[in-house]
């Protein structure tokens, strides 16, 4: 939950950051896009290190890195230094994504892995509740500085928890390939590219909400605390999506067909968001976007690296590097566009085209 949690806690602070650092809404939103560029590099770093030094040490180093970035953000008064702090934090937070996925791939296979990712998605559904609601509450009382203090404390607590309970799952006889050699093979694999594009598009839909909706709420006369309460709506939607995904997989649905229908749901929902985004009712179709995300992401992640299981950490690092770089570019564009409905609709259209062209995972 760590990478998503720290972003949802941070999201309600964007208007406060724009005001405190005297920057525009567009510049404030760019703190999310630079975050994901650094996150992409972190995914490659920790995924590769998890194969060489182990899953557990890689996670511990990542949490230390994140805490350093959060502490730097607390004390800076310069927006450029804030961007640097966000990049350092992102570099560390990436361990919470790629190392966890690698641990799961060490432990499960095939449809069992897809179901485990679905269960994990249900756990992730709780993160917007804690993130947006606690972030909105902290901002309303302590501003963005309070958010950064809370994030630093969270990293320290997770470091202690990891020391105490996280097991090492790296196989003793695991192959350790050269990063660039395996990367050259994977980047020639059309299936990897299509999986990376789908993952980045659906993440763009979710994170564009986190980066653009605070300003939309501001225009509608709602504050950070009210925006934080939408975390409950998103969590319910995510739980529904995870439940539906698990049930349909158990009932014999093929993953490709499931993703195809889900892309259609995302397209219809995004069009309704575009129509309704001048009123609070846009949250209703936004629930459809979250349901679609909760179905697509675990299925793509569980099948994307089927042919690269013997290099789980490094292969996961390369896949993550690819889709997080794409995500950073897409969020940068979304930050300049500043139109949530349009961003969602374009992403859903492209995802539909990709899945129609994709014959199998």
67-108 confidence digits (pLDDT tens): 999 899 999 888 889 889 989 999 999 998 889 888 888 888
Compute the distance between CA of residue 183 and CA of residue 113 in angstroms, rounded to an integer: 23
The structure tokens listed for 240 are 């529904």
User: What residues have CB less than 8 Å from 79, skipping those under 6 apart?
Assistant: 21, 23, 27
- Ranking 21-30, 89-98, 251-260, 269-278 by mean pLDDT, the lowest is 21-30
The structure tokens listed for 131 are 């993130």
Most confident of 106-115, 242-251, 274-283, 316-325: 274-283
The pLDDT value given to residue 58: 93
Is 243 or 30 the better-scoring residue by pLDDT? 243
| CATH number for the domain that contains residue 340 | 1.20.1250.20
pLDDT of 361 > 50? The answer is: no
261-309 confidence digits (pLDDT tens): 999 999 999 999 999 988 889 999 999 999 999 899 888 988 888 888 7
The pLDDT value given to residue 34: 80
* DSSP letters spanning 78-134: -HHHHHHHHHHHHHHHTHHHHHHHHHHHHH--HHHHHHHHHHHHHHHTHHHHHHHHH
Domain count, the chain: 1
Question: Considering the chain, what is the average pLDDT of its residues?
Answer: 85
The structure tokens listed for 160 are 């202690």
Distances in Å between the Cα of 327 and the Cα atoms of 73, 83, 278, 310 are: 23, 17, 26, 27
Compute the distance between CA of residue 162 and CA of residue 247 in angstroms, rounded to an integer: 32
Mean pLDDT of 329-350: 89
Range of the domain at 8: 2-357
């Amino acid at each position: 939950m760590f990478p998503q949690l720290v972003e949802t806690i941070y999201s309600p602070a964007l208007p406060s950051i724009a005001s405190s650092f005297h920057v525009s809404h567009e510049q404030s939103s760019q703190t999310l896009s630079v975050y994901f560029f650094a996150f992409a590099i972190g995914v490659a770093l920790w995924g590769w290190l998890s194969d060489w030094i182990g899953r557990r040490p890689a996670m511990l180093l990542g949490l230390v890195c994140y805490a350093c970035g959060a502490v730097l953000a607390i004390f800076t008064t310069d927006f450029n230094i804030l961007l640097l702090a966000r990049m350092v934090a992102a570099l560390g937070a990436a361990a919470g994504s790629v190392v966890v996925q690698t641990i799961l791939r060490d432990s499960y296979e095939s449809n069992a892995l897809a179901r485990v990712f679905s269960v994990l998605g249900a756990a992730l559904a709780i993160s917007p509740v804690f993130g947006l609601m606690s972030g909105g509450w902290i901002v309303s009382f302590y501003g963005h500085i309070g958010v950064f203090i809370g994030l630093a404390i969270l990293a320290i607590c997770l470091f202690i928890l990891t020391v105490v309970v996280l097991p090492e799952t790296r196989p003793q006889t695991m192959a350790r390939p050269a990063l660039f050699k395996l990367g050259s093979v994977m980047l020639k694999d059309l299936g990897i590219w299509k999986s990376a594009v789908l993952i980045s598009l659906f993440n763009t839909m979710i994170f564009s909400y986190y980066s653009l909706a605070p300003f939309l709420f501001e225009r509608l006369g709602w504050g950070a605390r009210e925006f934080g309460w939408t975390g409950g709506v998103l969590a319910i939607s995510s739980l529904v999506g995870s439940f539906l995904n698990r049930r349909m997989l158990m009932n014999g649905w093929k993953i490709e067909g499931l993703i195809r229908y889900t892309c259609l749901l995302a397209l219809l929902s995004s069009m309704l968001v575009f129509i309704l985004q001048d009123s609070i009712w846009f949250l209703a179709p936004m629930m459809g976007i979250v349901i679609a995300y909760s179905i697509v992401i675990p299925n793509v992640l569980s099948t994307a690296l089927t042919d690269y299981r013997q290099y789980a950490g490094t292969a996961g690092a390369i896949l993550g590097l690819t889709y997080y770089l794409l995500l950073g570019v897409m969020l940068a564009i979304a930050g300049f566009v500043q139109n949530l409905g349009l961003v969602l609709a374009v992403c859903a259209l492209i995802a539909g085209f990709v899945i129609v062209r994709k014959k199998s995972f």
